[in-house]
Amino acid sequence: MDTSKKWSKGNKRISPVFLRWRPAEAWHIVRAHPWLMFLFINFALVIPLEYNISMIEPRGEPYDAGFVITKRIHNILELRPTLNHVLAAANTALVVFQIVYIAWAWVVEGRFRPVLASAFMFSSRGILGYSTQLPVPQEFLGSGVDFPVGHVSFFLFFSGHVGASIIATLDLRCVNRVRGALVMDMLNVLQTMRLLATRGHYTIDLVSGAFAGWACYHLAGLCEERIKTQSSSVAGVSDYIDLNL
């Protein structure tokens, strides 16, 4: 048997890619894209952790790293209910601002993208939240002025508070309102800390909410471009028919 044809396909000889790797090229990739190195290091650390950590017992309390980090803030808010209500009211004001901004972007400025992104996000949140209904943490510190106001039932997964903030900050950057976007980012961080401290959301709810807001905003952008392309095509056909008539 001719071994020279072992790695051949047709008239082309196939050689393993790793044989062409060079240390200089690898170093260049690490310098140009350090996040890749961080990703692989994180992968190497997380995989052993995942397969060696003990599972929570069926009747055990859920473990949340965010709850551990914000334990001191939780204790302060538990001892000072008035402060908890004030922060809840401030958070509700932020949510109202997000709603007004997204509506303003469409009704006044004529930009449909943030509204479409919100529709995508809250539709998926409703489906996912109903599909997996997580228990409210036992240490939850509720407030009558929190959003939704009046202790209305809400889904934990995923966080609409954080997702809407991400949509708003991405849209602010899209129209070059950088300072407004930075302010929104800072408020979103404070909001995240408060939601963890009051046990209003698990950490996974908040992280998933941020990713959902980012993904839905970019999905809305793709849909918006497609709508514009289709509208232009229809307009072009209409103009052609009018000219020939």
Q: Is residue 60 part of a domain?
A: no
Q: Is residue 245 part of a domain?
A: no
Residues 6+ apart with CB under 8 A from 216: 117, 118, 120, 121, 124, 163, 167
Q: Is residue 80 part of a domain?
A: yes
How does pLDDT run across 140-177, given as a tens digit for each residue? Answer: 988 888 877 655 556 778 899 999 999 999 999 999 99
| Same domain, yes or no: 139 and 35 | no
| Same domain, yes or no: 42 and 76 | no
- E-only strand ranges, the chain: 8-9, 12-13
Separation of alpha carbons 33 and 193, rounded Å = 30
Separation of alpha carbons 34 and 42, rounded Å = 12
| Same domain, yes or no: 28 and 83 | no
Element (H, E) at 173: helix 160-174
Separation of alpha carbons 212 and 220, rounded Å = 12
DSSP 94: H
| Same domain, yes or no: 78 and 150 | yes
For 167, the token pair is: 């949509």
| Same domain, yes or no: 130 and 30 | no
Q: Which of 11, 166, 4, 15 is nearest to 94 (CA)?
A: 166
| Same domain, yes or no: 36 and 145 | no
Query: Which residues are catalytic, by number?
Result: 161, 201, 205
| Same domain, yes or no: 43 and 72 | no
CA atoms within 13 A on the CB side of 149: 8
Domain span at residue 80? 65-234
Separation of alpha carbons 76 and 81, rounded Å = 9
Residue spans of the chain under pLDDT 70: 1-13, 149-154, 232-245
| Same domain, yes or no: 31 and 137 | no
* pLDDT at res. 61: 83
For 107, the token pair is: 């009704």
Q: Is residue 225 part of a domain?
A: yes
DSSP 57: P
| Same domain, yes or no: 190 and 224 | yes
| Same domain, yes or no: 157 and 189 | yes
| Same domain, yes or no: 115 and 142 | yes
Q: Is residue 56 part of a domain?
A: no
Residues 6+ apart with CB under 8 A from 187: 94, 165
* pLDDT at res. 234: 55
Q: Is residue 33 part of a domain?
A: yes
* pLDDT at res. 151: 54
Separation of alpha carbons 38 and 46, rounded Å = 12
Separation of alpha carbons 223 and 20, rounded Å = 41
| Same domain, yes or no: 173 and 136 | yes
Q: Is residue 5 part of a domain?
A: no
Q: Give the total number of structural domains in the chain.
A: 2
pTM, two decimal places: 0.79
Residue-wise burial string across 131-168, b where 16 or more C-beta atoms lie within 10 A, e elsewhere: eeeeeebeeebebebbbeeeeeebbbbbbbbbbbbbbb
For 71, the token pair is: 């334990």
Q: Is residue 155 part of a domain?
A: yes
Q: Which of 229, 228, 120, 107 is nearest to 164 (CA)?
A: 120
